[in-house]
């Protein structure tokens, strides 16, 4: 969702773009179908890394990506976000003296127990161009001693994709497929290891969802790891909590656009819900996207089920946080990025 509009914009500028899929996300709905939805051609290279520990994934990506860099000698390596693929490819490029551009740079949770925080910090400090989505990111980078000339506030590429595909997703009306009329369900995503990999923690959240579903139905596209843990832990789920497989990008976007509330631990969904002005309740103690709270519809709820239920009930009673659209979240971030890269 972040890279598709950049690829398109760079090609519009006449740049040759080579697309590498590391394979870190390998579920069909989370990979192949999303590429199709985003109109990305079959990647030029697919590393097929798939699962493994953080060290195994990162090392495997580095070994395979180095071969590609040596073969094609790119002018730039453009990476996005904060996953293991981001850091692995940036490290390879930096050591081969290839310029690195980091999209969605400077975001900070200030929680070093999060693998993503380590990835994003390390990537920022070896990048040549740092593209930020919000002003707090610029301040973070400045505080860490990164030179201003490297940093460019361009807006949010996720919103570029959202604006392009939201009309299609709404026309599909995917909520009808699951028996909903719209605004009569809560959309839930849970995937962070800290929330789903320990039985006691996941059991608390499933019990929480069961309680919430007494008042409103829940639609829960479950990450493969989350679904596996629910089954292996033997957790009981209410009939009003509809657990489904991961969705394609356009189908999920449609469901998000017509949800009453979204309940999530995802960073990207905090941004998408802010743009769509859908009430978002985030199951985390911190967020690296503070603008979604300061200006958007996001509420940082913490991790205690009782507090989360209280917030959900408040929203259902009509106490909805009114949000606004952050600066430069206008669907043109990728064009700004392409303009800057093509001049170097």
Q: What is the Rg, in whole angstroms, of the alpha carbon atoms belonging to the chain?
A: 20
In 3D, which of 278, 302, 110, 57 has the Cα closest to residue 195? 302
Can you give the residue range of the structural domain that contains 58? 4-155+329-342
At 316-342, the pLDDT tens digits run: 999 989 999 999 999 999 999 999 999
In a domain, 246, yes or no: yes
CATH of the domain at 218: 3.40.50.2000
Q: CA 131, CA 152: separation in Å to the nearest integer? A: 5
Instruction: State whether 311 and 169 are in the same domain.
Output: yes
169 and 132 share one domain:
no
pLDDT per residue over 112-125, tens digit each? 999 999 999 999 99
Q: State whether 32 and 56 are in the same domain.
A: yes
Q: Which residues are catalytic?
A: 191
| 142 and 10 within one domain | yes
Let me know whether 30 and 109 are in one domain: yes
pLDDT classification of 52: cutoffs 50, 70, 90? confident
213 and 80 together in one domain: no
Angle at 57 between CA 4 and CA 303, to 5 degrees: 80
Q: Are residues 125 and 185 in the same domain?
A: no
Residues 175 and 282 in one domain: yes
Specify if 321 maps to a domain. no
Q: Is residue 322 situated within a structural domain?
A: no
pLDDT band at 193; cut points 50, 70, 90: confident
Same domain flag for 166 and 311: yes
Q: Are residues 249 and 203 in the same domain?
A: yes
Give the pTM: 0.93
Q: Looking at residues 142-159, what average pLDDT do you find?
A: 98
Indicate whether 274 and 190 sit together in one domain: yes
- Angle in degrees, 0-180, between the axes of helices 224-232 and 199-212, rounded to the nearest 10: 100
Residue 133 has pLDDT above 70, yes or no: yes
For the stretch 202-253, pLDDT in tens is: 999 999 999 999 999 999 999 998 999 999 999 999 999 999 999 999 999 9
Q: Is 317 exposed, middle or buried (0-12, 13-18, 19+ CB in 10 A)?
A: exposed
């Amino acid at each position: 969702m972040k890279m598709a509009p950049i690829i398109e914009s760079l090609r519009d500028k006449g740049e040759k773009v080579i697309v590498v899929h590391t394979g870190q996300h390998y579920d069909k709905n989370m990979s192949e179908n999303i590429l199709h939805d985003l109109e990305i051609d079959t990647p030029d290279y697919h590393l097929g890394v798939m699962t493994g520990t953080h060290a195994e994934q990162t090392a495997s990506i580095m070994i395979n990506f180095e071969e590609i860099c040596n073969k094609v000698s790119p002018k730039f390596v453009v990476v996005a976000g904060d996953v293991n693929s981001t850091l692995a490819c940036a490290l390879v490029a930096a050591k081969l003296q290839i310029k690195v551009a980091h999209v969605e740079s400077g975001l900070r949770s200030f929680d070093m127990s999060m693998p993503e925080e380590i990835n994003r910090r390390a990537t920022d400090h070896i990048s040549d161009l740092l593209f930020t989505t919000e002003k707090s990111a610029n301040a973070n980078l400045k505080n860490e001693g990164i030179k201003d000339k490297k940093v460019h506030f361009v807006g949010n590429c996720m919103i570029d994709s959202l604006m392009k595909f939201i009309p299609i997703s709404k026309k599909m009306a995917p909520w009808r497929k699951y028996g909903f009329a719209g605004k009569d369900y809560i959309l839930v995503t849970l995937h962070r290891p800290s929330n789903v990999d320990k039985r006691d923690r996941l059991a608390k959240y499933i019990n929480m969802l069961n309680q919430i579903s007494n008042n409103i139905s829940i639609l829960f596209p479950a990450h493969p790891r989350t679904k596996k843990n629910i089954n292996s832990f033997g957790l009981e789920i209410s009939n009003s909590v509809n657990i489904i497989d991961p969705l394609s990008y356009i189908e999920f976007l449609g469901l998000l656009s017509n949800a009453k509330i979204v309940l999530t631990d995802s960073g990207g969904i905090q941004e998408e819900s802010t743009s769509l002005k859908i009430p978002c309740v985030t199951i985390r103690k911190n967020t690296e996207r503070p603008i979604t709270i300061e200006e958007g519809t996001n509420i940082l709820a913490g991790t205690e089920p009782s507090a989360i239920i209280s917030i959900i009930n408040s929203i259902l009673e009509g106490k909805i946080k009114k949000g606004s659209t952050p600066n430069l979240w206008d669907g043109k971030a990728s064009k700004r990025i392409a303009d800057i890269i093509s001049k170097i």
